[in-house]
Amino acid sequence: MSYTSDLSERSNSSKKLIVFDMDSTLIDAETIDELAKAAGVGQEVSAITERAMKGEINFSQALTERVRLLNGLKLEDAIKALEKMPLMPGAKELVSFVKSRGYATAMVSGGFTLSSERVGKLLGIDHVVSNELIVKDGIITGEVIGSLTAQNSKELVLEEIAAQHGIAPEDCIVVGDGANDICIFKRARYAIAFNSKPILRQHADVVIIEKNLKAVIPVIESFDLDQRCVSCIRNA
């Protein structure tokens, strides 16, 4: 499921787009792990998450297995658990900076709307796309729907959002941390691995090991400078 904020109407004319992952990137937590703790299956789910982020098992398979373990969790308990998740240090500053530079922003997450909508609004993200947990009579059923349930589905979403801004995925910047970001790292003009798993670093243009997103700001500045230099050469 997804939403596009009112802000994006003003940003649709932007020819610059930056796409963020959510879990362990814009927030300092893994949504499904926090839900699992609330459901009393924290260790089981965390082990699957770790294997998925390392690329040891297929993302789609890992998602299905983890969500199934959430069956029976009360919605109110899930919401309480997710409200405690903190933003990643520097998240607000980074998003504010890229917006000041004319970038449209997107958050594309294999996580869930229960957390992504809150995070998107807190940060003023233009496009938010994530999955949705099925809830019946106030209870999570252990099922999930959405456009990001399949392996490499992030790539399709990147294409769709980029098209809205009249640009190609190859002209975008992406920031992520896990194996399920590889597909968009391969497409983007610039790929930034933030405190990432080793499997993602080999596909990155820049690797950030400091756990503060403000460290990404000078990287974006260097990208913009590079783009201006290229433009000057072409127009010379």
- Is the pLDDT assigned to residue 213 strictly greater than 60? yes
Domains of the chain: 2-28+88-235 (3.40.50.1000)
Mean pLDDT of 190-196: 96
pLDDT per position as a tens digit, 70-129? 999 999 999 999 999 999 999 999 999 999 999 999 999 999 999 999 999 999 999 999
3-state secondary structure (DSSP) of residue 32: helix
In this prediction, residues 20-38 reach a mean pLDDT of 96
- Mean pLDDT value across the chain: 90
- Is pLDDT of 6 > 80? no
Report pLDDT for 4.
61
145 sits in which H/E element: strand 139-145
Cα separation, 63 vs 145, whole angstroms: 11
Angle, CA of 211, 215 and 220, to the nearest 5°: 140
**Look-up of token digits 């796409």:** 19
Antiparallel, parallel or unpaired: β 173-176 and 206-208? unpaired
> What secondary structure letter does DSSP report for 168?
-
pLDDT for 227: 62
Confidence of residue 156 (pLDDT cuts 50, 70, 90): very high
Inform me whether the pLDDT recorded for 162 exceeds 90: yes
- Residue 136 tokens, joined: 């019946």
Q: What is the pLDDT of residue 8?
A: 47
Catalytic (active-site) positions: 21, 23
Contact (CB, 8 A) for 173 and 223: yes
Report whether 137 contacts 127 (CB < 8 A): no
